[in-house]
Amino acid sequence: MMPLPALDSQRRATLGRALNLALDKRRQSVAQFPDWEAMRQRAHDIRAGAVERLDEYLDQFERAATANGIRVVRVATAEEACRYVAAIAKRLGVTTAVKAKSMVTEEIHLNHALEAEGIRAMETDLGEYIAQLCGQPPFHLTAPIVHLSRDEVGRILADKLGVPFTNDPTRLTLIARDVMRREFLTARLGISGANFCVAESGSLMLVTNEGNGRMCTTLPAKDGPRVHVAITGIEKVVPTLKDAAHLLRLLARSGSGMRLTAYTTLINGPRKRAGGDESTGPDEVHVLLLDNGRRSMLRDPHLREALYCIRCGACSNVCPVYHRAGGHAYQSVYNGPIGSVWSPALWNTERAATLPFASSLCGACADICPVKIDIHHALLWQRKLAADRGRVPLWQRLAWRAWRIGMSWPALYRFGSAAARKLVGPAVLNRLAKPWTATRDLPPLAAKTFRELWKEHPAE
Amino acid sequence: MDQYFPQAGLAVARILKRLGHHVEYPAEQTCCGQPAFNAGLRAEAAALAKRFVRIFDRFDAVVAPSGSCVAMVRNFYPELLGDGRGPARVPLAGRTFEFSEFLVDRLNVTDLGAAFNERVTYHDSCHLLRELRVQEQPRRLLRAVKGLELVELNDGPACCGFGGVFSVKFPEVSTVMAEDKVAAIERTGARYVVAGDGGCLMHIGGMLTRRGSKVRPLHLAELLGGVA
Ligand code: SF4
């Protein structure tokens, strides 16, 4: 089991303030809907319907999107996806791409792959941009630098861009905007994710807060062909625009308490040439539908539900472990409760296998999830899979077997309990329980067990 | 319960008897299997679950002063004992109750005639709150206690960080959770923190004494049974 360290108390306080603010705003936002529970149920049903008939809807999406002039490509692995994007960049002859925030591109480590080919991918979401400047992965599903204070952000920008220090959010935004503007006006390759792929219309729905998603996907550059590539998971498909609209109502409210993210972009295809009525928009739109382990979740009835996730981040906001350990401690692109369900399905590593155990199973995540995923029960299932795959060390498995045998024979159990009192004693017990007793006391064993007391006075 | 909180168990028996019920304690019982289940070792857990069902199946109702054990039986036994194609039918799951919900929902009792002249706060154990949806029942029982002043915790309601083996496998995070919980408890000015789950009480209690706090952990049944 790999450890999950806690953040220092100052960082915890900064993070806690930001997360609790989001939770408060969510609470107020949700309180305006007396039928919030019914809305969650409907969102759950929409996602369940989509995932249950995933292949049907994927086919429908592909047909409709193709008819709109979008090139739809199914990719099985991260490498395949990265190679595809790099090939487009080469064809266009560009060395820079502008990117809207996308967890899937983090999942496949697209930026590194492009860098290896000499292509610089520039993050244009403000938080993501700052994370990129300091070479850090996003800290949170929706808020990449939620752990940083305003002062820290100011220092990072001053440091990396050589601008005068300020901690004023408006000024900070303007500084970043200046840098990005220049890139936006010349970029010919735009990369994004997609929040939903709408099957009936073949359109992509993308939400952002700064409008950068729109810039990355419309690409106002004047010289030469322009291409938008959207990379998303196969699970992101929803049957209808109405379904997407419903999910949209829950998405921002759950994550940040906002009614809607500031910009909702609906992409129906490349710029239309015939008639020449559209002057902006890319010449090509490509959609990569990525599997990368998702089908293994689809096949497992206990994990399928995790595919309903709309990446709102609420489960992280409410998670007591996330609050204390923070996003980077997970060492996984997908962190927080749902990340601990996803990670072992996507990556067969020791680290990923540890994550489902790093939970007290309190269930706060499942209660807040707008699509009602039983997140903590899925964690329990991932623990079982980890044990099945031999991720629980032999000595531990033997210890559990011994424990089970002890618990199956009351005489053995009684012997163990007597031995703990008479032969072993509190000093040794405390030493054995070191990880506990280093920071907490272990209450003394009762002088007499219940069964002894009961035997003495059964009819008390 | 057997090892650390025998008084809570005795209190449950005493209260149920006083209410006119016949109470038995099958001495061959040990553990419901939850620790192994949470560790991912379902075969070990299933062996104990079967044993549990065998021992308790003859009773009209099984009452436990522990939210997580009841959640194990009620919410997880059907899945655990299923054949892989679907959950098993476990009638006992529907007859297994947490102490406070049994009193309030089943027996319609809230006032046990107890008196306790103290300021008390109540900790919502996660399994009671979110697996069993037991939230109001213990509060109604507490409010009926003469002299008792109930002050609510203002922290979420957040987990205390116990989580079984979680507390020893991830001690850093678990410890900070307990520290925050204890700080919230102390802010209430209560003398006692009451809960319905032994694990939480051990964890919170262990942090309270380590920090030299005057607040004492107390099981709901003990308080109601008037042992404290
Ligand atoms: S699991 Fe639910 S709460 Fe967590 S990010 Fe996904 S949709 Fe949001």
Contact map slice: A 1-20 vs B, CB within 8 A: 1, 3-6, 12
Which tokens belong to A337?
């409760």
Which tokens belong to B211?
């920090």
The nearest alpha carbon in chain B to A397 belongs to B41
**Mean pLDDT value across residues B160-187:** 93
pLDDT of residue B228 exceeding 50: no
Indicate which atom in ligand 1 lies nearest the CA of residue A341. Answer: 1
A180 interfacial to chain B (CB closer than 8 Å): no
Contact A441 B209 (CB under 8 A): yes
Contact map slice: A 374-403 vs B, CB within 8 A: 380, 383-388, 392, 396-397, 400-401, 403
pLDDT band (50, 70, 90) for residue B2? low
* Residue B8 near residue A454 (C-beta atoms within 8 A): no
Alpha-carbon distances of A150 from A28, A292, A329, B46, B157, rounded to whole Å: 25, 36, 22, 52, 29
Which pLDDT tens digits describe chain A residue by residue (460 residues)? 778 999 999 999 999 999 999 999 999 999 999 999 999 999 999 999 999 999 999 999 999 999 999 999 999 999 999 999 999 999 999 999 999 999 999 999 999 999 999 999 999 999 999 999 999 999 999 999 999 999 999 999 999 999 999 999 899 989 998 888 888 888 999 999 999 999 999 999 999 878 888 888 888 877 888 999 999 999 999 999 999 999 999 999 999 888 777 788 899 999 876 555 566 789 999 999 999 999 999 999 999 999 999 999 999 999 999 999 999 999 999 999 999 999 999 999 999 999 999 999 999 999 999 999 999 999 999 999 999 998 888 888 888 888 888 787 777 777 777 777 666 666 766 776 778 888 888 877 777 787 787 777 765 5
What is the tens place of the pLDDT at every residue in B119-133? Answer: 999 999 999 999 999
d(CA A314, ligand 1 centre) in Å = 6
**So what's the pLDDT on residue B144?**
94
Q: Any residues with CB less than 8 A from the CB of A436 and at least 6 apart, and which?
A: A442, B167, B168, B171, B206
Confirm or reject: Cβ of A145 under 6 Å from ligand 1. no
Pocket test for ligand 1, best of A236, A251, A254, A317 (most atoms within 8 A of CB): A254
B158: amino acid identity, one letter: A
Indicate which atom in ligand 1 lies nearest the CA of residue A338. Answer: 1
**So what's the pLDDT on residue A280?**
73
Contact B48 A408 (CB under 8 A): yes
Residue closest via CA to ligand 1's atom 3 equals A369
pTM over 0.90: yes
Residues from chain B contacting residue A420 (CB–CB below 8 Å):
3
Contact map slice: A 305-364 vs B, CB within 8 A: 320-321, 324-325, 357-364
Place of tokens 């000024």: A171
Distance CA A43, CA A246 (A): 7
* Residue A234 near residue A58 (C-beta atoms within 8 A): yes
**So what's the pLDDT on residue A459?**
52
d(CA A359, ligand 1 centre) in Å = 16
Domains and CATH numbers, chain A: 9-292 (3.40.50.10420), 302-388 (1.10.1060.10), 405-456 (no CATH)
Candidates A12, A358, A446; nearest CB to B4: A446
**Mean pLDDT value across residues B132-146:** 95
ipTM above 0.85, yes or no: yes
Contact B5 A448 (CB under 8 A): no
Interface test with A, best of B79, B166, B170 (most A CBs within 10 A): B170
What is the tens place of the pLDDT at every residue in A113-139? Answer: 999 999 999 999 999 999 999 999 999
Contact A360 B163 (CB under 8 A): yes
Contact A400 B3 (CB under 8 A): no
d(CA A371, ligand 1 centre) in Å = 7
**So what's the pLDDT on residue B217?**
95
Contact B172 A6 (CB under 8 A): yes
Indicate which atom in ligand 1 lies nearest the CA of residue A306. Answer: 1
Indicate which atom in ligand 1 lies nearest the CA of residue A316. Answer: 4
**So what's the pLDDT on residue A277?**
56
CA torsion sign, A293 to A379 to A254 to A32?
A: positive
Q: Any residues with CB less than 8 A from the CB of A274 and at least 6 apart, and which?
A: none
Candidates A384, A386, A440; nearest CB to B206: A440
Which tokens belong to A1?
């089991």
Q: Any residues with CB less than 8 A from the CB of B212 and at least 6 apart, and which?
A: none
Alpha-carbon distances of A323 from A3, A123, A328, A330, B131, rounded to whole Å: 16, 26, 11, 12, 22
Confirm or reject: Cβ of A314 under 6 Å from ligand 1. yes
d(CA A116, ligand 1 centre) in Å = 33
Indicate which atom in ligand 1 lies nearest the CA of residue A368. Answer: 3
Distance CA A353, CA A1 (A): 8
**So what's the pLDDT on residue A274?**
56
The nearest alpha carbon in chain A to B167 belongs to A436
Contact B44 A403 (CB under 8 A): yes
Strand partners, A232: A289
Domains and CATH numbers, chain B: 6-106 (no CATH), 119-225 (3.40.50)
* Residue A214 near residue A265 (C-beta atoms within 8 A): yes
d(CA A319, ligand 1 centre) in Å = 11
Confirm or reject: Cβ of A369 under 6 Å from ligand 1. yes
A417 interfacial to chain B (CB closer than 8 Å): yes
Distance CA B141, CA A318 (A): 29
Give the distance, in angstroms, between the CA of residue A47 and the centroid of all CA atoms in the same chain. 17
Least confident of B26-40, B88-102, B176-190: B26-40
Distance CA A37, CA A40 (A): 5
Q: Any residues with CB less than 8 A from the CB of A108 and at least 6 apart, and which?
A: A78, A79, A81, A82, A231, A290, A292
* Residue B100 near residue B15 (C-beta atoms within 8 A): no
Residues from chain B contacting residue A1 (CB–CB below 8 Å):
169
